[in-house]
Amino acid sequence: MSLPKPVMRGLLAKRLRFHLPIAFTLAITAAIAFKFTVTEPRKKAYADFYKQYDAVKEFNAMREAGIFESVRPSGE
């Protein structure tokens, strides 16, 4: 009794026909999940932050704290 020879002709094409659609489906699913679980909440958080952010107020606070070398605090 001998073992049958393995079928090598067309093996790559056969395996790709099976695995390629699965790989594309998983990749698209992962991209969509990442978009809705990470990027959309992050964009919303940035939008909420910048609705109430006042750059001039922050600048004045940093100037009064003495952070900048080129701008003196108003008390000096």
The low-confidence residues of the chain, meaning pLDDT below 50, are: none
Q: How far is CA 35 from CA 25, 28, 49, 69, 70, in A?
A: 15, 11, 20, 42, 42
42 in any annotated domain: yes
36 in any annotated domain: yes
75 in any annotated domain: no
pTM value is 0.66
> Quick one: pLDDT at residue 69?
85
Number of domains present in the structure of the chain? 1
> Quick one: pLDDT at residue 28?
98
2 in any annotated domain: no
> Quick one: pLDDT at residue 76?
63
57 in any annotated domain: yes
> Quick one: pLDDT at residue 7?
84
